[in-house]
Chains A and B, each alone.
Chain A
Amino acid sequence: MQSTSTILTMLNEVLTTELTSINQYFLHARMYKNWGFNTLNDKCYKKSIMDMKQADKLIERILFLEGLPNLQRLGALSIGEHTVEMIKCDTGVQHTQIEQMKAAIALCENEKDYVTRELLTEILEHEEEHLDWLETQDYQIQSMGIDKYLQAQL
């Protein structure tokens, strides 16, 4: 099924964000694992895998719409040096992605591509949930201090 080039360009941009996000969360997960923070490792690892599944759906959708998914393009990773900075970097990435998803959903609405919109809405829901988790971690660090917070992540 043919689609408009604006939808395909947008889907490829969303795909690039997902592919970047996969790598960022995977590296953060394994950095946490290396430091022994298993709870944080699990969370970031699962987020990375979730992003892979979302990227898969985007790739399939782009191919279905007779476009060419660009798996070569990657954005810049934002990798922190320690836990607080890593959470801050992830929060920044989530904010950017959520803004992008909202614009993409609005475009789908305009172009009357309701199936793509549903796919993007589902992704947006997961991204918002992860942003909420990151905000919770930030609150916990502020209220209990980084030492106690990290002890709870072992």
Chain B
Amino acid sequence: MFVCLCKGITDSDIQQLVLEHGVGSIRELKQHVALGSECGSCTKVAQMVIDNTIMDETLFKDVG
């Protein structure tokens, strides 16, 4: 789904940046895309997408 409607950035775009470029925070995300630069109402959801992607990658791998 679209996380940032102002710039047309989707959750899969953010997931890709987390996985391929090691993005771990909104500040780092902003270096790659213009997310949150217009109305700013998407940062909460964007943070959630980052957190969930990081969680999927590391926490559960160690357990298995």
Contacts and interface: CB of A to CB of B under 8 A. Distances in A.
Interface residues of B, number: 9
B42 A79 contact: no
B53 interface: no
A85 B41 contact: no
Describe B's contact surface by its main secondary structure.
mixed
Describe A's contact surface by its main secondary structure.
loop
Interface in B1-57: 1-2, 5, 10, 12, 41-42, 44-45
Interface residues of A, number: 8
A137 B10 CA distance: 24
Contacts of A77: 2, 5
B10 A76 contact: no
Contacts of B2: 77, 79-81
A83 to B, nearest CB: 12
